[in-house]
Amino acid sequence: MLKRVCCGTAILQLSLALGGCAVDAEDPASGESAVPFGRGGSVPAMDMKILAAGAGVPSVWGPADKSFLGTSTTSASRVYFTGHRGIVSEVFYPVLDTVNTVDLQFLVGDTAKTFVDEEKLQSYTVTQPDKRSMRWQATTTNSGHNWRITKTVFTDPGRNALIQRVKFDALNGRNVTQFNLYLLHNPAMDNSGAGDTSRTVTAGTRTMLVASENSRFSALAISRAWKAGAGGLPMVSSGFVGETDGWTDLLGGTSDKTMSWRNDLASGGNVAQMGWIDLGASAVTSVSFDVVLAFGASQNEATTTANATLGSNLATLQTTYDNGWKTYTNGLDSQGGTADDQYYLAAMSLKTIQDKSNGAMIAGMGTPWGESNGDANNGGYHLVWPRDLYKFAGALVTAGDTASGTSVVNYLFNTLQQTSDCGTSEYNAPGCPQGYSRVGRFPQNAWISGWQYWQGTQMDEQAMPIILAWRLGPSVYNPLWPKIKKTADYIVNVGPWTQQERWEENSGYSPSTIAAEIAGLVCAATIARANGDATSAARYLAAADYWQQSVDRWTFTTTGYHGDGRYYIRINPSARGNTGTGPQVYNPVSGPDAAISVTHGNGGGTHDQRYIIDGGFLELVRMGVKRPDDPSIVATLPEYDAILKRTIPGKGDAWFRYNYDGYGERIGGGAYDGLTGRGRLWPIFTVERGMFKIAGTGVGSDGSPFLTAVKAFSTPQGFIPEQVWSQPTNVTGWNVDLPAGATAGTPTGSMSPLNWAMGEYISLLASIRANKVVDIPSVVCGRYNACVVPPAAGEVAVSINVTANTVVGQHVYVTGNTAALGNWNTDLGIPVDPTTYPVWKNRVNLPASSSVQYKYYRKNANGSVTWESLPGGGNRTMSTPASGTLTRNDTVTW
Q: Which residues are catalytic?
A: 501, 504
Q: What is the 3-state secondary structure (H, E, C) of 324-335?
A: HHHHHHHCCCCC
Spacing of C-alpha 291 from chain mean position: 30
Amino acid (1-letter code) at residue 119: E
Contact call for residues 509 and 588 (beta carbons, < 8 A)? yes
Contact call for residues 14 and 22 (beta carbons, < 8 A)? yes
Residue 363 phi/psi, 5-degree rounding, is -75, -30
Which stretches of 712-828 are assigned E, i.e. beta strand? 729-731, 734-736, 795-803, 811-816
Contact call for residues 684 and 757 (beta carbons, < 8 A)? yes
Per DSSP, the residues of 601-662 read TTTTEEEEGGG--BGGGGHHHHTTSS-TT-HHHHHHHHHHHHHHEEEETTTEEEEESBTT--
Count CA atoms within 13 Å of residue 711 on its CB side.
14
What is the rounded distance in angstroms from the CA atom of residue 701 to the CA atom of residue 710? 15
Per DSSP, the residues of 845-858 read EEETT-EEEEEEEE
What is the rounded distance in angstroms from the CA atom of residue 519 to the CA atom of residue 514? 9
What is the rounded distance in angstroms from the CA atom of residue 632 to the CA atom of residue 552? 8
Angle 685-497-692 from CA coordinates, rounded to 5°: 25
List of residues 6+ apart from 456 with CB closer than 8 A: 426, 427, 444, 499, 500, 504
What is the rounded distance in angstroms from the CA atom of residue 75 to the CA atom of residue 358? 11
DSSP lists the bridge partners of residue 136 as: 153
User: CB atoms < 10 A from the CB of 215, how many?
Assistant: 11
